[in-house]
Amino acid sequence: MAIRNRFSELLPEITAWRRDIHENPELLFETHRTSQFVADRLAEFGCDEIVTGIGRTGVVALIKGRSDSQGKVVGLRADMDALPIEEATGLPYASKTPGVMHACGHDGHTAMLLGAAKYLAETRNFDGTVAVIFQPAEEGGGGGLEMCKDGMMERFGIDEVYGMHNWPGRPIGTFAIRPGPFFAATDTFEIVIEGKGGHAAKPNETVDSIVMAAQCVTALQTIAARNADPVEQIVVSVTSFESSSKAFNVIPQSVTLRGTVRTLIPEMRALGRDRIHEICTHTAAVFGGMAHITYTEGYPATVNHEAETKFAAEAAAKVAGDCDFAPLVMGGEDFSYMLEERPGAYILMGNGDGASVHHPEYNFNDEAIPAGCSWWVEMAETRLGAAQ
């Protein structure tokens, strides 16, 4: 691999940053310690401007090249927040916060972008400005949207933006990317099926919410099987089935269903939303009940821009020798909001064998740090060009 030698030298330091962040995880927008840790390191590196509080607890720093003939700014983004999971790794640097851990590798993303920022501030061998973006609340809080709503792109003059996520199961330090829709839009629903409760010995006197809800769960699977174009992706998952009674001899008054809809294009997103309303409303009505549906749109699909995906793949190939074509991912990612505002791309980097993300035994692989840092730097220097 064409790993920059400087990152082999910096690896112990960057690893120490990563493990410090891992030991002290924070959720959503409560990344106060992490944000301060990031801001302190950026100040030590001599960044030209450091702004905190973007999108509540986000941090943005500008690093100016030795020349700026074109006035261009390239944004590099890492996420900082952890997950509400009890860690089970048994590592000496395991989370010190009960019920919270870095189970998705955002500690590694943050540390790698800090490493890249240190290198870029030392060398400044580019023509323009790099904006390093440290985002809170990727795990369900929409921190990317909040930073955009705070005017980040306009305030710092960002022209392009790039993001990265580690990927367990891929060889360490390898890369994969694809143009167009990449990560899915992630919506949620809550459906309250209302019937008429009563004694289990007299079902004829009830309107059975359990039967209605069970019919809805089955019928919802026809959205993907019979309503969607077979070549498009839609995943409808009912993940919770909860009745208003826990008794053995009671037919409950109501049942609440909860779940998610994951899609890659707007047409499928609209189809999922509309069919959930139609199926559950009419199914309940057939049995003499009612369905009250709350449908909430979450992150939009993450859509990589064509030209910028090519640039990102070329940079990855310089670091790793090649760059693979990535599979579609039906998980969500709020880097999507930044890609709606500016051209850019999102790439996967191999984390090696081990537990998957969002697992209590997951751990970011520190051996991947030099490749990740090198990719960030390659993106900055190639997109801005050498200093004049």
Residue 139 pLDDT > 80, yes or no?
yes
pLDDT in tens, 237-269: 999 999 999 999 999 999 999 999 999 999 999
State whether 55 and 175 are in the same domain: yes
**Percent of all residues in the chain with a pLDDT value above 70, rounded to a whole number:** 99
State whether 28 and 173 are in the same domain: yes
Structure tokens at 54: 């973007």
Q: Are strands 160-167 and 73-79 parallel, antiparallel or unpaired?
A: parallel
What pLDDT does residue 3 have? 67
pLDDT in tens, 203-218: 999 999 999 999 999 9
What pLDDT does residue 1 have? 44
State whether 87 and 191 are in the same domain: no
Residue 302 pLDDT > 70, yes or no?
yes
Cα gap 195→221, rounded to integer Å? 22
Please name the amino acid found at residue 214: A
What pLDDT does residue 5 have? 85
Residue 186 pLDDT > 60, yes or no?
yes
pTM above threshold 0.85: yes
Among 296, 317, 333, the domain boundary falls at 296
State whether 283 and 360 are in the same domain: no
Q: CATH no. for residue 259?
A: 3.30.70.360
State whether 189 and 290 are in the same domain: yes
Q: CATH no. for residue 40?
A: 3.40.630.10
State whether 161 and 80 are in the same domain: yes
Confidence of residue 7 (pLDDT cuts 50, 70, 90): very high
What pLDDT does residue 214 have? 98
Residue 46 pLDDT > 50, yes or no?
yes
Split into its structural domains, the chain has a count of 2
User: Is the CB of residue 367 less than 8 Å from the CB of residue 173?
Assistant: yes
What pLDDT does residue 2 have? 64
State whether 190 and 325 are in the same domain: no
Among 261, 296, 331, the domain boundary falls at 296
Q: How far is CA 377 from CA 126, 202, 364, in A?
A: 10, 71, 20
Residue with the larger pLDDT of the pair 343 and 6: 343
Confidence of residue 50 (pLDDT cuts 50, 70, 90): very high
State whether 376 and 238 are in the same domain: no
Residue 157 pLDDT > 70, yes or no?
yes
State whether 252 and 108 are in the same domain: no
Q: Which domain holds residue 360?
A: 5-181+302-384
User: Is 139 annotated as contributing to ligand binding?
Assistant: yes
pLDDT in tens, 95-107: 999 999 999 999 9
Among 296, 320, 354, the domain boundary falls at 296
Classify burial at 353, counting beta carbons within 10 Å of its beta carbon; exposed 0-12, middle 13-18, buried 19 or more.
Answer: exposed
Other Cβ atoms less than 10 A from the Cβ of 337: the count is 20
State whether 172 and 201 are in the same domain: no
User: Is 104 annotated as contributing to ligand binding?
Assistant: yes
**Rg of the chain taking only CA atoms, in angstroms:** 24
Mean per-residue pLDDT of the chain: 97
Cα gap 127→136, rounded to integer Å? 29
User: Is the CB of residue 128 less than 8 Å from the CB of residue 65?
Assistant: yes
State whether 224 and 349 are in the same domain: no
Alpha-carbon 26 to chain mean position: 16
User: Is 148 annotated as contributing to ligand binding?
Assistant: no
State whether 196 and 268 are in the same domain: yes
